[in-house]
């Protein structure tokens, strides 16, 4: 079997839905399980609606109407007037009724708990599941919605619930296997789950990918396909370099590095279990279904080494702490990091010399108190508006001449910090925000343009 997961843009209109149905039909022989996101914007709208109701803003009712209309319009485009359309519209009404009840209660009580918010959010995927299943039926497939909450058992961490794999495995086999064996395509709304006692939960934003990964891993799928509107993981931001290309294959480690830089296609936490069980994950483009996309598989330690992508992230702050007394002292780093822990702030890159430490932060909400606490440990300098530019790849430790090529490529750019050797899949430099695109461009040209490909790797 395979898992085919479709994101919101892929199911956002009649044409898109037809395209999706055709793709599923083409893969019928591979016994697909379909996992779907909510329709575009719907999850955001649902969360906003509940929030408005909790704040006793009566416009929440307009939002409810917007959500209802949006789904009705898709149904009306998809189906001509007849029993199927009437059945589906009735179903939309029923779920909207449930949503209204939730929101009325939130409004009346002026209270929105994470538990209620999950019940509200799950409506998006419960609605889209019905619509996608109907689109498949229209294409001649035997498709049936399976309520993901009967399979995806989670803990009670509402809003970001953890799947209980030991509970899910038997349920997935029990509910889905017989369907697959009799040629039925099960359609699951992604993102949602339920506690063992049946209370609705969600797996966190973007969680439909997780649903696909969980089901594919536990049913030992031949492949988990994540269908989206990009060609896969790109080797550079297409906005920076016109010749950006999809990376044919990445290891989970490389995918994790790229995720930090906003390649939001895959979350590392869901990739690992699949890859460990030997289930490949492929990111595919609904607009270009025949393109190979990006395959995520376990890395081959003897395979070719070298850079695979250039990524960047702006809005970075560098903190530099220097303290001559640090020379030969022990326990100093602990004191520094305690400050960041105390202020609940994640540190990304770190570089040290004998008497100073540089590190980067994304989140500077608490920079004031952090600076004050660090000032007790040494001299502190804060540099804002920086960017991290990273070369991501594999086997960097055994790739000769890498540093020379990087620094030659960055000759015209002022580098304020370097982090290398934390892993052999990433080398990062910190530059001024205004230099980020130029740095990315130069690195991309050095390592990925045709001319570079012809250069002998030294
Ligand atoms: N619909 C949910 C969200 O927008 C889950 C997903 O699409 O992955 O976060
Ligand atoms: Mg997504």
| Ligand number with the minimum distance to the CA of 127 | 1
43: Cβ below 6 Å to ligand 1?
Answer: yes
| CA dist., res. 27 & res. 339, Å (int) | 53
| Ligand number with the minimum distance to the CA of 212 | 1
| CA dist., res. 236 & res. 238, Å (int) | 6
206: Cβ below 6 Å to ligand 1?
Answer: yes
CB 444 within 8 A of CB 386: no
pLDDT (0 to 100) of residue 395: 87
393: Cβ below 6 Å to ligand 1?
Answer: no
CB 27 within 8 A of CB 248: no
Measured from the Cβ of residue 76, the count of other Cβ atoms closer than 10 Å reads 14
Give how far the C-alpha of residue 353 lies from the chain's centroid of Cα atoms, to the nearest Å.
35
| CA dist., res. 186 & res. 164, Å (int) | 21
| Ligand number with the minimum distance to the CA of 267 | 2
- Residue whose CA lies nearest to ligand 1 atom number 6: 206
Give how far the C-alpha of residue 77 lies from the chain's centroid of Cα atoms, to the nearest Å.
30
pLDDT (0 to 100) of residue 421: 66
Burial (CB count within 10 angstroms: exposed 0-12, middle 13-18, buried 19+), residue 398: exposed
Apex CA 300: angle with CA 298 and CA 304, to 5°?
A: 130
pTM listed for this prediction: 0.84
Measured from the Cβ of residue 329, the count of other Cβ atoms closer than 10 Å reads 12
Ligand 2 geometric centre to CA of 224 (Å): 14
Ligand 2 geometric centre to CA of 23 (Å): 19
Instruction: Write out the H or E segment, with its range, that includes residue 298.
Output: none
Measured from the Cβ of residue 60, the count of other Cβ atoms closer than 10 Å reads 22
Ligand 1 geometric centre to CA of 86 (Å): 27
| Ligand number with the minimum distance to the CA of 227 | 2
The closest alpha carbon to 265, from 5, 3, 17, belongs to 5
The helix-helix angle for 114-138 and 60-78 (nearest 10°) equals 20
41: Cβ below 6 Å to ligand 1?
Answer: no
Which of ligand 1's atoms lies nearest the C-alpha of 207?
A: 8
pLDDT (0 to 100) of residue 27: 97
38: Cβ below 6 Å to ligand 1?
Answer: yes
- DSSP 3-state of 412: coil
pLDDT (0 to 100) of residue 249: 87
| CA dist., res. 315 & res. 413, Å (int) | 18
pLDDT tens digits in sequence order for the chain, 458 residues long: 999 999 999 999 999 999 999 999 999 999 999 999 999 999 999 999 999 999 999 899 999 999 999 999 999 999 999 999 999 999 999 999 999 999 999 999 999 999 999 999 999 999 999 999 999 999 999 999 999 999 999 999 999 999 999 999 999 999 999 999 999 999 999 999 999 999 999 999 999 999 999 999 999 999 999 999 888 888 998 888 888 888 888 888 888 888 777 655 577 777 888 988 999 999 999 999 998 899 988 877 677 788 999 999 999 999 999 988 766 667 888 999 999 999 999 999 999 888 889 999 999 999 999 999 999 999 999 999 999 999 998 888 888 899 899 999 999 899 999 988 667 888 999 999 999 999 999 999 999 886 444 444 44
pLDDT (0 to 100) of residue 455: 47
Instruction: Write out the H or E segment, with its range, that includes residue 48.
Output: helix 42-54
Instruction: Write out the H or E segment, with its range, that includes residue 456.
Output: none
Protein residues within 5 Å, CB atom, of ion ligand 2: 7, 206
Ligand 1 geometric centre to CA of 23 (Å): 21
Apex CA 359: angle with CA 358 and CA 362, to 5°?
A: 150
DSSP 162: P
Rounded (10°) CA dihedral 67, 72, 75, 80: -170
| CA dist., res. 213 & res. 215, Å (int) | 6
- DSSP 3-state of 176: helix
| CA dist., res. 137 & res. 236, Å (int) | 39
191: Cβ below 6 Å to ligand 1?
Answer: yes
Task: Tell me the C-alpha to C-alpha distance, in Å, between residue 27 and each of 19, 177, 272.
Answer: 13, 17, 25
Contacts of 335 (CB under 8 A, 6+ apart): 377
**Strand ranges in 88-237 using DSSP code E only, listed in sequence order:** 143-146, 185-189, 192-194, 200-202, 223-228
| CA dist., res. 100 & res. 61, Å (int) | 8
| CA dist., res. 217 & res. 213, Å (int) | 6
| CA dist., res. 264 & res. 416, Å (int) | 27
pLDDT (0 to 100) of residue 458: 42
Which of ligand 1's atoms lies nearest the C-alpha of 7?
A: 7
Give how far the C-alpha of residue 122 lies from the chain's centroid of Cα atoms, to the nearest Å.
18
pLDDT (0 to 100) of residue 243: 87
Sheet of strand 32-36, all strands in order from the earlier edge strand to the far edge: 143-146, 185-189, 32-36, 2-6, 223-228, 281-285, 294-296, 249-250
CA atoms within 13 A on the CB side of 147: 9
Ligand 2 geometric centre to CA of 265 (Å): 6
Which of ligand 1's atoms lies nearest the C-alpha of 204?
A: 9
Give how far the C-alpha of residue 291 lies from the chain's centroid of Cα atoms, to the nearest Å.
21
Instruction: Write out the H or E segment, with its range, that includes residue 373.
Output: helix 367-375
């Amino acid at each position: 079997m395979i898992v085919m997961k479709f994101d919101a843009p892929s199911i956002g209109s009649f044409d898109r839905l037809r395209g999706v149905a055709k793709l599923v039909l083409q893969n019928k022989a591979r016994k697909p399980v379909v996992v779907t996101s909510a329709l575009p914007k719907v999850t955001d709208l649902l969360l906003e609606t509940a929030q408005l109701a909790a704040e006793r803003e009566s416009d929440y009712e307009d939002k409810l109407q917007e959500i209802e209309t949006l789904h009705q319009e898709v149904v009306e485009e998809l189906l001509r007037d007849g029993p199927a359309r009437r059945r589906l519209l009735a179903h939309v009404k029923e779920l909207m009724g449930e949503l209204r009840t939730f929101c009325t209660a939130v409004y009346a009580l002026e209270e929105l708990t994470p538990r209620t918010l999950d019940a509200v959010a799950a409506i998006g995927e419960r609605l889209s599941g019905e619509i996608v299943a109907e689109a498949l039926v229209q294409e001649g497939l035997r498709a049936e919605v399976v309520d993901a909450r009967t399979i995806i058992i989670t803990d009670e961490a509402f809003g970001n619930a953890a799947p209980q794999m030991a509970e899910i495995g038997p349920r997935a086999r029990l509910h889905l296997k017989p369907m697959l064996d009799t040629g039925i395509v099960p359609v699951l709304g992604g993102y949602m789950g339920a506690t063992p006692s049946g209370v609705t939960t969600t797996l966190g934003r973007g969680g439909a990918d997780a649903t696909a990964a969980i089901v594919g891993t536990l049913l030992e799928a031949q492949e988990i396909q994540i269908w989206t509107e990009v060609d896969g993981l790109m080797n550079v931001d297409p906005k920076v370099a016109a010749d950006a290309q999809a990376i044919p294959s990445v290891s989970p480690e490389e995918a994790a590095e790229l995720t930090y830089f906003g390649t939001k296609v895959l979350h590392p936490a869901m990739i690992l279990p699949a890859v460990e069980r030997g289930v490949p994950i492929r990111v595919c483009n609904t607009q270009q279904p025949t393109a190979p996309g990006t395959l995520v598989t376990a890395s081959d330690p003897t395979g070719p080494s070298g850079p695979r992508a250039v990524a960047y992230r702006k809005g970075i702050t560098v903190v530099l702490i220097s303290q001559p007394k640090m020379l030969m002292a022990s326990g100093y780093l602990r004191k520094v990091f305690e400050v960041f822990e105390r202020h609940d702030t994640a540190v990304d890159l770190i570089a040290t010399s004998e008497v100073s430490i540089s590190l980067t932060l994304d989140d500077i909400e608490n920079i004031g108190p952090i600076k004050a606490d660090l000032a007790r440990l040494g001299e502190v300098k804060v540099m804002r508006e920086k960017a991290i530019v990273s070369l991501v790849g594999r086997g960097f430790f055994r790739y000769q001449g890498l540093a020379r090529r990087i620094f030659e490529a960055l000759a015209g750019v002022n580098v304020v910090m370097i982090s290398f050797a934390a892993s052999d899949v990433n080398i990062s430099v910190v530059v001024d925000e205004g230099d980020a695109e130029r740095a990315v461009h130069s690195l991309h040209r050095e390592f990925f343009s045709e001319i570079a490909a012809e250069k002998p790797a030294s």
